[in-house]
Copies of this chain bind each other. A is one copy, B any other.
Amino acid sequence: MFKYSSQTRVLVAVDCIIFGFDGTDYNLLMVNRGFSPEKEKWSLMGGFLKANESLDESANRILYELTGLENVFMEQMHTFSKPNRDPIERVVGVVYMALIDIKKYQHQPHDDFQARWFRMDQIPKLIFDHQEMVEMAFNRLRSKAAFHPILFELLPEKFTLPKLQTLYEKLFATKIDKRNFTRKLLSSKIIQKIEEKDKTASKKGAFYYTLNPSTYKENFQRTLNLIPKSEIPSLIE
């Protein structure tokens, strides 16, 4: 087989930034590295691109191997490439962002990987340029969520309006008026009430809602304006 001659070949790593929401705060799923370099330190879930898989396949494989999860919302975000970002040898790092319902991964089966959730404000010092990756991912999440209803990926099938509102308030570090929030959301028709209440958070209980799958897809491109316009300029991307 002919090859391109005299060109440098490098390793390609895939790193997954996995967001979860515990009802109060955003969390990140990290693993304790079992190998050098930086053994025993916390890092993103990652692995090397294999010979016969695409990056999407690789990211999904890595996520599956480490959490057992499949069919998760995940998309490619950015490729990092500083020549010496990995001290061992040159590695180009492709970062994926995933959003999962935090309850779907609770340390269960794969404890051998020593994965655990960290609240966004309590993330340990990370290896290499992983800190930078996380910051970019969180900003990207903010930009996307301002215009597309992706945050539902972080919630279980049934969720309450107060939980959903907290999700938005925490991401944009702002308070939202609950009457306006509810009205905009319901007028979009992307969620529907079910006759069942969550009583864990209050005595009165809050009604559960679920996504309306058809209108959800239709409205995915539509900008919902759930965030007051005055907050939008603070988005960085």
Contact = CB atoms under 8 A, between A and B. Distances in A.
Interface in A1-53: 1-4, 7-12, 48-53
Contact of A81 (B7, B49, B236, B237): B49
Contacts of A8: 11, 48-51
Interface in A128-183: 147
A130 B91 CA distance: 25
Interface in A78-108: 78-79, 81-83, 88-92, 94
A46 B201 CA distance: 56
A83 B52 contact: yes
Nearest to A79: B79
B11 A9 contact: yes
Interface residues of A, dominant DSSP:
loop
A89 to B, nearest CB: 5
Contact of A7 (B7, B11, B222, B235): B11
A109 interface: no
A81 B50 CA distance: 11
Contacts of A51: 8, 83, 90
Contacts of A55: 79, 81, 92
A154 to B, nearest CB: 20
Contacts of A54: 81-83
Q: Lowest 7 A-B CB distances belong to which pairs?
A: A9-B9, A55-B81, A8-B51, A7-B48, A54-B81, A79-B79, A222-B233
